[in-house]
Structure formats: C-alpha cells, structure tokens
Structure 1
Amino acid sequence: MAQLSLDGMPRRLFSCTPTRLAAFEDCPRRYRMTYVDRPAPPKGPPWAHASLGVSVHNALHRWWDEPEPRRTPERAAELVRACWVREGWRDAEQSAAVRERAAAMCARYAAGLDPAAAPRAVERQVATRTEVLALHGRVDRLDERAGELVVVDYKTGRRPPEDGDARTSVALALYAFAAERMLRQRCRRVELHHLPSGRVVTAEHTDESLARHVRRAESVAVDAVAAAEGLAAGQPADVAFPPRPGPLCSWCDLRRHCPEGRAAGPELAPWAGVEYLAEASGEAAAPPPAS
C-alpha cells in the first residue's frame, strides 16, 4: 500500500480511484475490509441494480461502436437485451420485465442523441498524478464540444440527480482534472445523464473548484493511509477504521461482517433497488444507493 506522511507530503504516491476515496469517506470499516484486509472477507450476493447499471453501460458503449447508420433507438434496445446481466434478480420473469423496461429506457435516450456526433471516447481510462495521488478511473463518456472535453456519467438509479449534484461530485471533478491533464485539452464541463427520467444535470468547473476537489481527495487519501499505519502499528481495527452506520448499510456488500451495519438498517432482497422499474411487487423498497 502506498505510504504518505501525515503532513501530506508523499513518500510514495497513493494509488486510487474516486470509488476508493469515496469508500473511505462513506465508511472506514468497509474501506478496510475491501482494500486493506487480506484475504478480503466474502461479499454478499450480487445486486440487481448493479446488474442493471452494467447492462446499460455496456449497451451504450457498444451503441457508439456501431457504424453510424446503425446508431438507432431500436439498436440501443437490442444491445440492452444482448448485454443483459442475469445476476441478482428474483427470478427469470422479473429479469425479463426489467430488461424490457431498460431496453425502452435506452431507446428513448438514444433517440435524443446525434448519431453523427461520436464522442471522443467511451469507457475511457484516465489517469494523472498530484503531489499525493496517483489517480485513475474510467469515464463513461468523453464528449468533445467546441474544442473542449465534457465528462458524461450515466445514472440508472431511481432518484433523478438534483441541480447541484454534478457540481459537488468529487468523482466527476477528478475525472475532468485527469482527462484535461492526460489528453492536454481543456475539460471543465461535467454532466450526469439520468436515463430513467431523461434528466441531465451539468456543472462548469473553474481552476479553483477543481483545485478544491483535488485537495479534498488528497486529504481523504492522507487520512486513509494514517488509518492503515495505525492498524499496522497495533491500533485496534475498529479504532483505526471505525464503522459509520447509516441508511446505506442496508446496501453494503459486507454487512454480514458488521454488527453495527446490520443494526442500522433492514436486510434487503438483492432486487430491492430495481423495483421502480419492475412490476409492482407489493413490497416497499428502501432507496437504493446512487448508481
């Protein structure tokens, strides 16, 4: 694991993705079990909402790989069916019902795209370094508009993003920061595209706003390394990496290993997060995590 001094100056750069940084902010215990413990404890069963997200992302990736005449709404729906991930569903009937709703959702989204306006890249790895971080991650889509790059992030969860969500997203800011440095082209606009509602939320970053997000990411990295060093020095695991129980514990892959997490929220069926797209089941689902 990369080591940093507590004053923020690196002995070795901290290699991370925005997801890894967010994991420590959300719950240090979950971060420890995911990134520090070896062997890592086994996770719970796959989530249907994760399968939905993967299916849609893969379909839209392949849609842009099609020749321009085949970039049609109908083809988007076909690709959802071809890319469908069958894990986490209650049964084959529910899987098929949500698949068809997802196919219709992607067809509606594709109908609003210009098939001739191919992105600069789809599912593109970007990476850069700061004095503290060796940052990398995968961007859903990089558009090029008026000579500048635009970060586009697809969302498939139940809740449409709010107006400020693109501006406050550390992940989007870090993607823009990395893309601009790596590709040597200005990248300040970030967008959340919520496919179920068609809502698009945007933000225009400045040098100052990107710098704030980078400083926050570096601060999280320093805290994560300090926790790991404390653990290695003999500090109890729950002191170095305390749990942070809350509503999201119901959606945690590692809740079976966390008494505080189990007490914080009910256990949910793997398909609870997609009931907004499935046929009515008569059961009320807790809000799913953002996806």
Structure 2
Amino acid sequence: MDSSIEGTAEAGGGAGAEAVPLLTGGAETTVADTAAGRPVVPPASLSPSRASDFMQCPLLYRFRVIDRLPEKPSEAATRGTLVHAVLERLFDAPAAERTAPRAKSLIPGQWDRLRETRPEVVELFADDPEGERLARWLGEAERLVERWFTLEDPTRLEPAERELFVEAELDSGLRLRGIIDRVDVAATGEVRIVDYKTGKAPRPEYAEGALFQMKFYALVVWRLKNVIPRRLQLVYLGSGDVLTYDPVLADLERVERKLLALWEAIREATRTGEWRPRPTKLCGWCDHQAHCPEFGGTPPPYPLPVGMADGLSAGGPGVAPREAQSLPVRAAESRAVPQGRMGPD
C-alpha cells in the first residue's frame, strides 16, 4: 500500500487539511501553511502512487501534488487503510496468538483510531443514522482479514519491518520514497517485500502495471542496502490471489531509467505550467471533474511561477546525465507513523 507522502507531501491524494510535513526542494512547509497562503514549492520526490498519477494523467498529478485539491474519502480506500492497520497490529501479538478471531477483534479499535486521526472519514457514513451501511462495511473488512489467513500463516512469520518508511536520494537529486507494508528477512539474509491489496488481482495482461509499485520499492531497497530483494509479493485479499515476482538487477535499472525520464517530464511540466489531461475510463472516478477541461471545468490559477527550470536544477531535484545515474546515493530510512495514512491501496 503506497504511502502517498511525497513531494509537496501527498496525504491520500490531497485529502485532508491537517498540518503534515511537506518535504520539498530543501524547504519544509505544511498543508496548513499552504492553506494560509504561504508560497507553494515545486515537487521534490516521487512515491509509487504519484508516479502512477502522472503516468495516468499529468493534470491529476498537478491537482494532487501542486494544487492539493481536496478529495472525498472513499469507502474502498478507507477500508484498505483499516485492514492494513489490523494486519500490522496483529504482529504485536506472540506468534501463537495471531489468529483470525484476534485479528477481527482488532477492527473496532482500529476503526475508532482511524476516525480520531482522520475525522473526515466520519462523513462516509453521515447518512447512515441506523448504522446499517457501516455494519456491512465493517463486515467486509472482517472478510478481507479472514481471507488473509488462507493466503499466509502469521504464526510462521516474524517480519523484520512493518509499515517501513524508506527514502533514497539519487545523485540526480531525485528522492524516491514510500511505505512498505512488510519486509521479511530469511535466516540466509534474503529479503522479501510484501504488499497487501484489498482489491482483486489484475488480469495477467495488467500484471506488469501492478508490479510497478513493488519494483519501485525494490529499487529503493537496492539503493539503501545494496541488496536486491529475493522476492516481491502482492497479496490480493479481494480475490484470494498471491502474485510473486523475483527481480534481477536489470529490472531495477530499467525502473530507475523510467523514473528519471518520468521526473524529467514532471520538471518540464512544472517549469512550463502545462499539465495536460489524459482522458481514460478512470476519469469517471475522478474527484476533480469540476476543474478539468475535459469536463468543461477550469483548473485553478497555477500557483508556481512559469519558467523555473533553473530553480529546479540548482539545488533541487533534476535528471543527471546517464553516466551519473548509477552513482552511489544518500539514503535514510525509519519506521513510519501509520496514523493518517489514507493512500490508495
């Protein structure tokens, strides 16, 4: 599950107005700062979700990262956040006590915690005074948690990390960051990266797109530890499928080249202010139709100066020449603080 914490600090694709750190171009600001009218700064990092946003639609990327337009919480994304929190907390218990009933018993408490840290999710069920829809929704979360026990045995797992925030800064200046659901390390030192998905597994022809996020994480781990993960594992709780992939060095090098090219396109759009919409079937689920030219809308005034290429390349992230792309990197990692995490799963 991608963290959605990047650039001008994504928090669930722009939803929410709490003051969370925004790490951007060497400066630190907050959502509250931006709302108060302080200067908006250009994006300075990529997470898997925001990279996917730009590939899907550059204008969507702008709305989420630069304009930070609000988005309504969705039942699906919120349920994903809840299930992730339950699976993370389950590993606090001794191995023998990691059972399905115990996991389900964690759901009410984690839902209360989520409502406290993200009050906007309460509006999901504002029109449900009797609580019938909420009860069904919580029941769906229970079924997803139960299904996980048919796919993995938590009594035999001792994760090295859970909800691990990772960040690697390439010598090009580009920072890659994200939150990995689980990292398993075998006695032999082999690393497995695991991500939970509460939706259904994609059809085979779309599997490569699904693996993009995992290869992104593998690249960051490689840059951090000089270790290529032995296995990437996607656990689809919605359909009961497990998708695995064993990466090799060439995979990670290709992903790095792709991300550097993507970042160059983002820099150019930031410099020119030209963020073109890219209509697809996914537009029907977009919260920003009122601001999108494809639906007769008008984007808000562009909050950054046009023609700021020099500012982006001097002391900020940029794309280095190809021969510099494989140089060592500066990196940092820490445990993530999961509350408030509302990114798409």
- Shorter-chain TM-score range: 0.7 to 0.9
**Cross-structure match for 2:91:** 64
Distance 1:140 1:113 in 2: 16
In structure 1, the residue matched to 2:311 is none
1:124 is paired with a residue whose SS is: strand
The alignment partner of 1:154 has SS state of strand
Instruction: Please show how residues 91-130 of structure 1 align to structure 2 within 5 Å.
Output: 91=128, 92-110=131-149, 112-130=152-170
State the partner residue of 2:243.
201
What pairs up with 1:184-195 in 2 under 5 angstroms? 184-195=226-237
1:145-156 paired onto structure 2 within 5 Å: 145=186, 146-156=188-198
- In the alignment, what sits opposite 1:30? 60
Separation in 1, partners of 2:245, 2:48: 18
Q: CA deviation at 1:80?
A: 2.4
Aligned length, in residue pairs:
245
Instruction: Provide the secondary structure at the position in 2 that maps to 1:187.
Output: coil
Q: Distance in 2 between matches of 1:261 and 1:65?
A: 48
The reply on whether 1:144 has 2:185 as its aligned counterpart is: yes
- Equivalent of 2:48, from 18, 22, 25? 18
- Between 104-113 and 94-103, the greater mean CA deviation after superposition: 104-113
TM normalised by structure 1 equals 0.75
Amino acid corresponding to residue 74 of structure 2 in structure 1: W
Deviations along 1:184-208, one digit per CA (max 9) or x if unpaired, are 5441421110012220001111111
Within the alignment, does 1:242 sit opposite 2:269 as a pair? no
Counterpart-to-counterpart distance in 2, 1:261 and 1:122: 41
Given that 2:228 and 2:247 are in contact with CA atoms closer than 8 Å, whether structure 1 keeps it comes out as no
- Three-state SS of the structure 2 residue aligned to 1:242 is coil
State the distance in 2 between where 1:200 and 1:248 align: 25
Q: Secondary structure at the match of 1:61?
A: helix
CA contact (8 A) 1:152 1:192 kept: yes
User: What is aligned with 1:255?
Assistant: 289
The amino acid that maps onto 1:228 is: T
1: distance between equivalents of 2:280 and 2:268? 24
Q: What RMSD, in angstroms, separates the aligned Cα atoms of the two structures?
A: 2.6
Contact 2:167/2:178 (8 A) holds in 1: yes
**1:176, 1:189 within 8 Å by CA — same for their partners in 2?**
no
Query: Partner letter of residue 108 of structure 2?
Result: R
* CA distance in 2 between partners of 1:174 and 1:193 (Å): 17
Relative to structure 1, the CA distance from residue 34 to residue 44 in structure 2 (aligned partners, 3 Å threshold; closer, same or farther) is: closer
Q: Note the alpha carbon deviations across 1:74-127, whole angstroms, 9 max, x for none.
A: 111112232235733463212211212321321231353141421111110112
Tell me, in whole angstroms, the C-alpha distance in 2 between the residues paired with 1:107 and 1:28. Answer: 38
CA distance in 2, matches of 1:203, 1:69: 29
Task: Tell me if the contact between 1:136 and 1:178 (Cα under 8 Å) persists in the aligned partners.
Answer: yes
How far did residue 59 of structure 1 move? 0.5
Residues 139-158 of structure 1, C-alpha deviation per residue, up to 9 Å, x if partnerless? 0111123421111111112x
Contact 1:154–1:195 (8 Å) recurs in 2: yes
Residue 28 of structure 1, CA deviation = 0.9
Q: Which runs of 5+ in 1 are unaligned?
A: 4-11, 232-239, 264-289
Q: What amino acid maps onto 1:129 in structure 2?
A: E
* Deviation larger for 24-33 or 100-109: 100-109
Contact in 1 for aligned 2:83/2:144 (Cα 8 Å): no
How far apart are the structure 2 equivalents of 1:101 and 1:47? Answer: 14
Structure 1 residues 67 and 152, CA gap change in structure 2 (3 angstroms): same
What is the percentage of aligned positions where both structures have the same residue? 31
